[in-house]
Homo-oligomer: A and B are copies of this chain.
């Protein structure tokens, strides 16, 4: 759409698109999709309504871009853990620990935008989009766990589906608690407890990560 090469022809934009988007992320994160009005957004982003609409489209497409950028800037710790850690158990443990920190970081609204921003929303489209994202997490966890069962890292009788869903329950419950005022230490204690249900590896040479 807008190419950065050479000078633009018309009047230059008076705001930085990226920082305006960041402000929009914080606004939606704090109050959710529905409860954040376009007037709230223009105030938070420091631009007029016509500028918002010309730069980001309508409210819904701005929100979609917000969710994408949120995933990159604040939600990528899950993907990183799943890629970098050697086992599903280690990955989940790291995810829960980083979630405890991230969800209670005073630098931004508490909890997870994807979990809370569109609960009880009049736009079914927006609600469904975030629901699909949340359910995709569970599927990713499950396939990661199945991979560890295949290698013998986890016992053959491990219920991958239940373990994955339990992980999702813990993450989403932690996010809710963070919004309700739980501290980082309290969430870390919950993460500790939650990890206790993971079965021990069957291979005696398997890494232990305790």
Contacts and interface: CB of A to CB of B under 8 A. Distances in A.
Interface of A: 31-35, 115-122, 131, 134-135, 159, 161-163, 165-166, 168-174, 176-177, 179-182, 186-187, 189-190, 192-194, 196-197
Given A162-B192, A168-B173, A190-B165, A180 B131 contact: yes
A176 B172 contact: yes
A190 B161 CA distance: 9
A31 B122 CA distance: 8
Closest CB pairs A-B (n = 8): A32-B120, A173-B173, A169-B173, A162-B189, A172-B176, A172-B173, A166-B193, A196-B197
A184 to B, nearest CB: 12
Contact of A190 (B166, B171, B180): B166
A120 B187 CA distance: 21
| Number of identical protomers | 2
Given A169-B170, A170-B170, A159 B120 contact: no
Given A35-B34, A120-B117, A177 B172 contact: yes
Contact of A168 (B35, B119, B122, B177): B177
A149 B122 CA distance: 46
Contacts of A35: 34, 120-122
Contacts of A115: 176
A126 B102 CA distance: 26
Contacts of A190: 162, 165-166, 169
Contacts of A134: 176, 180
Given A134-B180, A169-B169, 7 more contacts: A34-B35, A161-B186, A166-B194, A169-B170, A169-B176, A172-B172, A172-B176
A150 B33 CA distance: 46
Nearest to A121: B35
Given A120-B34, A162-B190, A176 B173 contact: yes
Contacts of A192: 162
